[in-house]
Structure 1
Amino acid sequence: MRMRILAALAALPLIASVGAHAKVSESEAARLNGDLTPLGAVRSGNEAGTIPPWTGGLAKPPSDWKPGQIEIDPFAREEPLFVVTAENMALYEDRLTEGHKALLRQYGPEYVMPVYRTHRTAAYPEAVYEKSRQNATSATLLENGNGVTDTIMTSPFPIPGNGLEAIWNHTLRYRGEQVSFRSAFATPTRDGSFNPILTEYDYYFAYSEAGVELKDIDNRIFYLKTRIMSPSSLAGTLNLVHETLDQVRSPRLAWRYDSSSRRLRRSPNLAYETDLPNSSSLRSVDQKDMYNGAPNQYDWILKGKQEMLVPYNAYRLHQPAATARDIIRPKHINPELTRYELHRVWVVEATLRTGVQHIYQKRRFYLDEDSWQIVAAEEFDNEGNLWRVSEAHNISYYGVPVFWSTLELTYDLKAERYFIDGLDDGQAPYDFRPGFRPGEFSASAVRRSAGR
């Protein structure tokens, strides 16, 4: 049935939100060296002075940080400018997402949003900026919108013309060339009790590897291996994913190794609305990384850019002192450890296409203009009611540099529970130079190493 649905979707005409827009002219691309940043954000601040100009981001580490250490908080001494609560949220209504308004109404006064001074810390290597400029004049959506051509390394459309181009900017944003780390995820009950699942993640970003071209990567964006380390009942469970660029033409490849059966099996349905494994049905597979996979189930509309209060520079959540027990609270995380700032975000709405089945009838995404990272999202049920609210709490990993999440959340407003991913609990810092080779991510290589 799923294959018939995918075939039908692929045969549908080009969706209205794609239009004919693709690469931009050389004169338009020249703005990336002028009033726009290399990734397409507005370089200047806002008129009120509450959003500063972008001056290169946090491209150099703080003087008291050394390679091999967890990223220290460069803003540790700052105090909140104000705190948004259920009682005063009307004062900030035009700066709050619908999801944050719902969380404030449902969980106040315990749930609050401390708002700090804005720092535009997103920064990347110069090679990423150069590729962004090249992508601007070459990248083109495939005819069905399910892939992109003539692009490499980073977001393909720094000057987007529609919602689909914007969401591809998130999907293909630069996250380094390789990274290895351990962190835990959990699904706390309503009373706050939880059992963390510690997992090892190994990424090889084929699309972002220096010196490659699109023809060299065999339609792959990245390769991913995950291995559950604890609890003992799940330890040794391993997943292998080959993330493809055009997932309708060549669907995502996934395998799962179950330590009880000691066999590596294909996972044909690890996509779309399928429950994310071990998520207590609180998150779908396509919510990992805020959104992933083929965009063919939705019509995508670019709603424009807004100034919004969003999670940003979440170094407090990233510190070793912030243990899982410090972070997790009943129904929501500890707001004392969160940080919200005023940033310009692209707003993209996705509406389920006629005849397609998904648990979310509509979705709204807020993409940071400086990084193309989705920082907040809202998921609506098939009756049009707001059901879930997702956040990505991000930092600049300034040793690379790269801007990426340190913690992801999905709040389920109906169940009054949440899924949390990125609990470091004193684990080693992310290793962005692990020295992986592509062959280590083949099914045969993983099969050989699975029993170790």
Structure 2
Amino acid sequence: MMSVMTKTPLALTVGLILAGSALAKVPASEAEQLGKDLTCVGAVKAANKEGTIPEFTGKWAGAPAGVAHAQSSGKHPVDIYADEKPLYVITAENVEKYGDKLSPGQKAMFQKYPKTMQLPVYKGHRDFRYTDEVCAVVKKNAVESEVTDNGLGVKGHLGAINFPIPKSGIEVIWNNLLPTRAYNEKIIRDMGRVLSDGSVTYGRMENWNLDMVNRPDNLGKPVEGPMAYSMTKGMLPEREKGGVTNSVEPTNFGKDKRLAWSYDPGTRRVRQVPEYGFDQPMTGTGGKLTIDSDRLFNGSPERYNWKLIGKKEMYIPANAYKIHQATVKYADLLKQNHANPDYMRYELRRVWAVEGTLKDGYRHLYGKRVLFVDEDTGQAVASDIYDARGQLWQHALINTYYSFDIKAWHAGTSFYYDLNSGSYMAYNLFQERPLGPILNKGDLTPNMFTPEAARNAGT
């Protein structure tokens, strides 16, 4: 049973709330704690009583002084904590000591791979912050934002999380869907499917993302219109080479649907994808990654009932600069059973735990998914995934880091571990690429994501 520090009463009746009107707003008196006892995004500012989670300093917005950084260059992130060593390493031999701060999926990894599984735990750092402009929008959202349309839409303001003091699971999910992050991204991603015998099959895709929510000229405007545009072009494996999918995602899934158009190089035709997202396979992953598990969860929340379990302390990947260095070779990182622990960095942090259970009458490969959302970012960093029988199936995680380009946290390399087959998917690899993600360059526009643009990109 997962230990919980706090539990929200509304979480117990979230289903009844969503069946009725919009969720209640946070009183102004509660919102006044933002920037005081709470950070501007609602995280507890103080250290925990043991001092194992540090106080939030927020001393840096963007690159720290003395750190060389070329804006929107695509250079691999600088590891500002490169000289640090782990405080301790969690292994199968001592895992019981730390079990109350691990998820069921994490503990299952130690059970399955007792000889090799490790979690290196480093000194915690809460040194980075969002801009004052973003914080001002968050505070406005705290007293004005509401979940609407039975959980499928939000009334609020763009460019910042809408629920810094969440009272329900669906509010935490919307924070994960609409966080402050890059508005403009170009990247060539590698993917590695690692089989149980340690052999690796690679995929590759070119990906462009235009996040309308975070465009600078939209900061503070009402939540409406398209949420994001995306282009995915297959490069590997060979059978997927040249295939292009362009998609547009709404901010309100109760009024609009995610639309997508796919270009097939074999027929040289573009067709609209009948229903895009959910558990359809992700390009380049050999069917091992679903579209809605990118960033652990994305797209419409309609197929699940979302329950807020509460806030807890948990070991999660954080300040993950080490794994994203250009010196990291895939052969050294992608080991049999799991990623090489030498490149991982875990910290003890506070997370919101949210459980999504598949609704009656809906279909999905995942019968239940539990997301762990970092209180400092509003973004999911780990997930335990269950099959239709309720059996634990996968554990997934994202190595996040604060990007100086965007003055916010960015989702880096992620791992999706299949606890049944012993295989795993390494997604969003760019360590061996000449460039990493090119963020906020501002060179993407909506007309680059039309059906005609998909045809042109594939030829």
Q: TM-score, normalised by structure 1?
A: 0.92
The range that moved more, 430-439 or 394-403, is 430-439
How far the C-alpha of 1:77 sits from its partner, in A, is 0.8
Amino acid at match of 1:50: T
CA distance in 1, matches of 2:389, 2:59: 42
Aligned to 2:68: 65
Structure 1: distance between partners of 2:296 and 2:67: 32
Corresponding residue number in structure 1 for 2:5 = none
Report deviation, 1:276.
Answer: 2.8
SS in 2 for 1:382: coil
1:443 Cα deviation after fit: 2.1
Shifted more, 275-284 versus 79-88: the winner is 275-284
Tell me: CA distance 1:211–1:64, structure 2 relative to 1, closer, same or farther (3 Å): closer
Moved more, 409-418 or 196-205: 196-205
Is 1:41 the counterpart of 2:61 in the alignment?
A: no
Q: CA deviation at 1:448?
A: 3.2
Q: Given the alignment, which residue of 430, 441, 444 partners 2:437?
A: 430
Supply the distance in 1 between the matched residues of 2:127 and 2:244 (Cα, whole angstroms). Answer: 34
Mapped contact 2:138–2:160 kept (Cα < 8 A): yes
Specify the SS of the correspondent of 1:404. strand
Q: Write the distance in 2 (CA, Å) between the matches of 1:289 and 1:162.
A: 20
1:208 to 210, 214, 217: 214
Shift of 1:351: 1.5
Residues 270-304 of structure 1 show CA distances to partners (whole Å, capped at 9, x for unaligned) of 22222333433323221111001111211111111
The question of whether the paired residues in 1 share the 8 Å contact of 2:354 and 2:370 is answered with yes
**Does the alignment pair 1:16 with 2:23?**
no
Cα deviation, residue 249, structure 1: 2.8
Q: Does residue 112 of structure 2 align to residue 106 of structure 1?
A: yes
Equivalents in 2 of 1:319, 1:267: separation in Å? 37
What amino acid is aligned across from residue 35 of structure 1 in structure 2? D
Q: Distance in 2 between matches of 1:311 and 1:191?
A: 26
Counterpart AA for 1:30: E
Among candidates 218, 243, 265, match of residue 237 of structure 1: 243
Moved more, 218-227 or 336-345: 218-227
Structure 1 residue 213: deviation in Å?
Answer: 7.2
What residue is the counterpart of 2:321 in the other structure?
A: 315
Cα distance in 1 for partners of 2:302, 2:59 equals 34
Residue in 2 that maps onto 1:335: 341
- Of the structure 1 ranges 150-159 and 93-102, higher mean CA displacement relative to structure 2 is found in 150-159
Structure 1 pair 257/320, CA: closer, same or farther in 2 (3 Å)?
A: same
Task: Determine the structure 2 residue equivalent to 1:127.
Answer: 133
* Contact 2:205/2:232 (<8 A) preserved: yes
Distance 2:456 2:156 in 1: 36
Partner of 1:10: none
Larger CA deviation: 50-59 vs 201-210:
50-59
Kindly state the Cα deviation for residue 121 of structure 1 after the two structures are TM-superposed: 4.3
Deviates more, 1:344-353 or 1:164-173: 344-353
Q: 1:157 is aligned with what amino acid?
A: F
User: Equivalent residue of 1:332, what SS?
Assistant: coil
User: Cα offset for 1:393?
Assistant: 0.8
Residue of structure 1 aligned with 2:422, choices 416, 427, 435: 416
Give the 3-state SS of the residue equivalent to 2:195 in structure 1. coil
Tell me how far apart the structure 2 counterparts of residues 438 and 195 of structure 1 sit (CA, whole Å).
34
Displacement of 1:122:
4.7
Contact 1:220 1:244 in 2 (8 A): yes
Cα contact 2:224–2:252 (8 A) shared by 1: no
Out of 145, 158, 169, the position equivalent to 2:175 is 169
SS of the residue aligned with 2:79?
coil
Counterpart-to-counterpart distance in 1, 2:425 and 2:16: 34
Kindly tell me: are residues 417 and 57 of structure 1, through their superposed partners in 2, closer, same or farther at Cα, counting changes over 3 Å? farther
User: Distance between the aligned counterparts of 1:197 and 1:107, measured in 2?
Assistant: 26
**CA RMSD for the aligned pairs?**
2.1
Shift, 1:449, TM fit? 3.7
More deviation, 308-317/186-195: 186-195
Question: 2:305 aligned with 1:302, yes or no?
Answer: no
Shift in CA distance, 14/93, structure 1 to aligned 2, threshold 3 Å: closer
Instruction: Report the Cα distance in structure 2 between the residues aligned to 1:208 and 1:23, rounded to whole angstroms.
Output: 23
Displacement after TM superposition at 1:445 (Å): 3.0
Contact map agreement 2:277 2:291 (CA 8 A) in 1? yes
Cα distance change of structure 1 residues 202 and 147 upon mapping to structure 2, 3 Å threshold: same
Q: Determine if contact 1:298/1:351 at 8 Å carries over to the other structure.
A: yes
The alpha-carbon deviation at position 261 of structure 1 amounts to 2.0
Q: Which stretch shifts more, 232-241 or 316-325?
A: 232-241
Q: Take 1:14 and 1:120, find their aligned partners in 2: how far apart are those partners?
A: 31
The residue identity in structure 2 corresponding to 1:33 is G
Q: Once the 2 structures are TM-superposed, how far is the Cα of residue 65 of structure 1 from its aligned partner?
A: 2.3
How far, CA to CA, are the matches of 1:66 and 1:149 in structure 2?
A: 37
* CA deviation map 1:50-92 (0-9, x unaligned): 1111111642324232213321111111111111111110111
Which deviations, in whole Å up to 9, do the C-alpha atoms of 1:90-115 show, x marking residues without a partner?
Answer: 11111111111000110121111111
Q: 1:159 to 1:144 in 2, by over 3 A?
A: same
Distance 1:303 1:64 in 2: 39
Deviation of 1:141 (Å): 0.9
- Return the alpha-carbon distance in structure 1 between the equivalents of residues 227 and 434 of structure 2: 27
The answer to whether the 8 A contact 2:398-2:413 is kept is yes
User: Is 1:150 matched with 2:156?
Assistant: yes
Q: Amino acid of the residue matched to residue 68 of structure 2? A: W
- Amino acid across the alignment from 2:43: A
Partner of 1:395: helix, strand, or coil? strand
Match for residue 228 of structure 2?
222
The code of the aligned residue for 1:428 comes to: L
* Match of residue 444, structure 1, among 452, 456, 459: 452
Q: Could you say what secondary structure the match of 1:239 adopts?
A: strand
Match for residue 94 of structure 1 among 97, 100, 111: 100
Cα distance in 2, alignment partners of residues 57 and 104 from structure 1? 36
More off after superposition, 142-151 vs 230-239: 230-239
State how far apart, in whole Å, the 2-side matches of 1:238 and 1:214 are.
Answer: 33
TM-score (norm 2): 0.90
What is the alpha-carbon distance in structure 2 between the residues aligned to residue 287 and residue 163 of structure 1? 17
Structure 2: runs of 5 or more not aligned: 1-12
Q: CA deviation at 1:214?
A: 8.6
Tell me the CA shift for residue 389 of structure 1: 0.6
Q: Distance in 2 between matches of 1:108 and 1:436?
A: 46
